[in-house]
Amino acid sequence: MSERSSVQNPMLRYVDQIGWHYVSPKDALLLRGGEAGLYFSDILLAQLQKLNPAVLDPSRASEILRKLNLLRPSIEGNRDALSWLRGEQSIYVPEENRERNVQLIDFDFPENNIFQVTDEWKHKGAAFPNRADAVFLINGIPVALAETKNAEKRDGAAEGMTQIRRYHLETPEMLILPQVFEVTELIKFFYGATWSTSRKNLFNWKDVVQGDYEHTVKTFFDQKRILKVLHDYIIFLSRDDDLVKIILRQHQTRAVEKVIARVRDPEKRRGLVWHTQGSGKTLTMITIASKLLRESQGAGAEKPTVLMLVDRTELESQLFKNIAGYGIGSAQIASSKRELRKILSSDYRGLVVSMIHKFEDIPTTFWQPSPMPPTSALPARPSTGSLRAKAHSRSSA
């Protein structure tokens, strides 16, 4: 059996069953306006106006499309694309004399989005043409691509990964927008972040039902899960003056979601997350902090004070650099016991990074949590147990 009949076609059939509507290669080419097209332009324009009725008229929606077409075919352009997808970019509205953020995807109400999948996506770049086996689009925007290989082919997954790397080198225009890639040979199912294609950044999707290709595909491409990945679990950081892209692994996303659920629990106040060395504890903690602070911006919620504790000076400096790269604006380092006491007594709301020994001799009244607010709101002042981390062999939250 060919890889198309045994792997690719079943994938397309399974994702169609969970709401990714199939578009034939012929129709997809028309929607793109040719092999150099990046989007399903008409669908994107219509969704822009639907999701931004008070901000975008047809001419402004076309201006957004023009800006998206100007994104660079590089990791920097991919970072900017994700910023657009997350609704972090804005457009000037003259009649209001202010900037207004533009929503490309509705993360709160998935039913307001259009989920589509197509195959044999041919792209003609500036230097070379290439073809992806499958591309997944939300509101006309490619967000993920997949390479499918025959299970009988030796090293099929390695071959698929080689193709992904070739796309980046030969046709980078095809990778401006997609944030995630997947490589499968039916039995094995790997995933990673685009623009991060080294072998160490390729992860095995560990499904609870081992060996069930249908279940694996449906859980990986679950619409709500993909939206969470795009919104929360892809991170761009600067390391040694280079921009790097990271996608959180399954144990990290599970930890994040369990901590957030525990914070919202009106009864339980503590929790423990045990991760081994090298498991990505720092990024897990930063993502938790970011979600706590961001979600507190909703109606009826009060911004929390989040404490992130480490036990070594070098970890404190490293952690703060990662926080800055993640884009958390309201963060302070408590440089001394006196400063920590001052921050806590001032009712500061935001992220506080501190060495754990600086809590010595500080009365508990400085950091004990306030009475639990209504279930719909986040805690006003989480205790240190809400986000406390040992930064070597384990983390607790």
- Angstrom distance (rounded) from CA 79 to CA 131: 23
Which pLDDT belongs to residue 217?
94
> What are the distances in angstroms from CA 304 to CA 81, 89, 176, 319, 396?
30, 25, 36, 20, 18
Q: Retrieve residue 20's tokens.
A: 């990714």
DSSP result, 208-266: SSTT-HHHHHHHHT-HHHHHHHHHHSEEEEEETTEEEEEE--HHHHHHHHHHHHHHH-S
Edge-to-edge strand ranges of the sheet holding 203-204: 21-23, 115-124, 129-138, 141-148, 180-184, 189-193, 203-204
Spatial contact of 20 and 221, defined as CB atoms under 8 Å apart: yes
Q: Retrieve residue 158's tokens.
A: 């390695």
Spatial contact of 235 and 245, defined as CB atoms under 8 Å apart: yes
Query: Helix (H, G, I), strand (E, B), or coil: what is residue 326?
Result: helix
Burial label, 54 (beta-carbon count in 10 A; 0-12, 13-18, 19+): exposed
Is this prediction's pTM over 0.95?
A: no
Which pLDDT belongs to residue 325?
66
pLDDT in tens, the chain (397 residues): 567 778 899 999 999 999 999 999 999 999 999 999 999 999 999 999 999 998 898 999 999 999 999 999 999 999 999 999 999 999 988 888 889 999 999 999 999 999 999 999 999 988 889 999 999 999 999 999 999 987 766 777 788 889 999 999 999 999 999 999 999 987 889 999 999 988 888 899 987 677 789 999 999 999 999 999 999 999 998 877 789 999 999 999 999 999 989 988 888 888 888 888 788 888 888 888 888 888 766 545 678 888 888 776 656 666 766 776 676 766 787 878 888 888 888 888 888 888 877 777 777 666 555 544 443 333 333 333 334 433 333 333 3
The DSSP symbol for 388 reads B
Which pLDDT belongs to residue 378?
36
- CA-based nearest residue to 120, from 128, 112, 130: 130
If residue 84 lies in a helix (H) or strand (E), which one and from where to where? helix 75-85
If residue 119 lies in a helix (H) or strand (E), which one and from where to where? strand 115-124
If residue 204 lies in a helix (H) or strand (E), which one and from where to where? strand 203-204
Beta pairing, strands 115-124 & 21-23? parallel
Q: Retrieve residue 106's tokens.
A: 């509705």
Burial label, 349 (beta-carbon count in 10 A; 0-12, 13-18, 19+): middle
Tokens 């679990």 -> residue: 233
